[in-house]
């Protein structure tokens, strides 16, 4: 997805709220905990708004890797994808990894597991991601990897924040994920390697009518299968409660 298209997505959302502004400055000194330092509330139930990359998010067909800067080896692996082999090997969840699961149409439940850890649960695939504000926790090595989180007041995302009652001072939640088990960038077998790095920025938008959105800008870097970083943007609308929450197991068909 081209940067101009991503900017269009976020500008459209900004128009809904009627505000856009540059990112503000941050507070000095490290916060005592991620929870105490939070500039906005990211917790609650969220539902995907599938207006970006609809075709690939809803119907990821074999061999359809449009928009992803795959090299020749990456295309070869994607073209050879066999869902029956994944099922036989117990690898139904390879397409529900950290680099792909947030793009799924579905719902997400975000809570504080403790004062230094945000927990993101997905109903698609019943996955759990942990965003850790304290270093030296856990080992990673699975499909969700090891995710380090921080509140960032400048830079990140697309270079600007959305206001209108949203993130104070233009702050973003930045999450950097490494130490991933190899999996898929899409459910149709588009590969990423163990050397992949995922960088995410979560920006909050509040509209005048009270609706709240998260805009997620993601960058995947993988020297093994990508010719350049792959940038995408998706967004979610906050729900008042758990209506529609329907956890389901991973599936490859």
Q: What is the pLDDT of residue 34?
A: 96
* Whether 242 contacts 109, CB under 8 Å: yes
With beta carbons less than 8 A apart as the criterion, state whether 216 and 234 touch: yes
What pLDDT sits at residue 164? 40
210 Cβ contact partners less than 8 Å away, ≥ 6 residues apart: none
pLDDT of residue 32: 75
**For the chain, which ranges sit under pLDDT 70?**
1-31, 54-56, 58-59, 136-139, 154-169
- Which pLDDT score is estimated for 207? 96
Q: How far apart are CA 165 and CA 208, in angstroms?
A: 8
Cβ-contact 215, 233 below 8 angstroms: yes
In angstroms, how far is CA 144 from the centroid of its own chain?
11
What pLDDT shows up at residue 16?
37
Rounded Cα–Cα distance for residues 232 and 246 (Å)? 26
Q: For the CA atoms of the chain, what is the radius of gyration?
A: 18
Count of CB atoms situated within 10 Å of the CB of 182: 16
pTM for this one?
0.82
CA distances from 203 to 14, 37, 40, 91 (A): 11, 15, 9, 32
Pair of tokens at residue 147: 């995710």
pLDDT score of 53 = 75
């Amino acid at each position: 997805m081209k940067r101009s298209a991503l900017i269009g997505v976020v500008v459209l959302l900004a128009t809904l709220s009627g505000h856009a502004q540059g990112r503000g400055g941050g507070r000095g000194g490290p916060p005592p905990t991620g929870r105490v330092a939070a500039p906005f509330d990211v917790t609650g139930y969220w539902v995907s708004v599938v207006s970006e990359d609809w075709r690939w998010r809803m119907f990821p067909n074999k061999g359809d890797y449009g928009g992803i800067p795959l090299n020749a080896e990456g295309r070869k692996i994607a073209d050879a994808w066999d869902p029956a082999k994944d099922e036989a090997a117990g690898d139904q969840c390879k397409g529900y990894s950290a680099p792909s699961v947030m793009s799924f149409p579905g719902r997400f439940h975000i809570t504080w597991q403790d004062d230094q850890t945000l927990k993101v649960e997905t109903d698609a695939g019943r996955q759990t991601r942990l965003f850790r504000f304290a270093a030296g926790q856990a080992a990673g090595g699975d499909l969700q990897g090891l995710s380090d989180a921080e509140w960032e007041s400048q830079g990140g995302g697309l270079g600007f924040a959305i206001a209108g009652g949203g993130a104070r001072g233009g702050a973003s939640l930045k999450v950097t994920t490494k130490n991933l088990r190899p999996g898929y960038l899409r459910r149709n077998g588009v590969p990423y390697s163990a050397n992949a790095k995922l960088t995410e920025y979560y920006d909050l938008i509040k509209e005048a009518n009270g609706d709240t959105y998260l805009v997620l800008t993601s960058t995947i870097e993988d020297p093994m299968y990508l010719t350049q970083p792959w940038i995408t943007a998706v967004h979610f609308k906050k729900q008042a409660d758990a209506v529609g929450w329907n956890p389901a197991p991973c599936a490859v068909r």
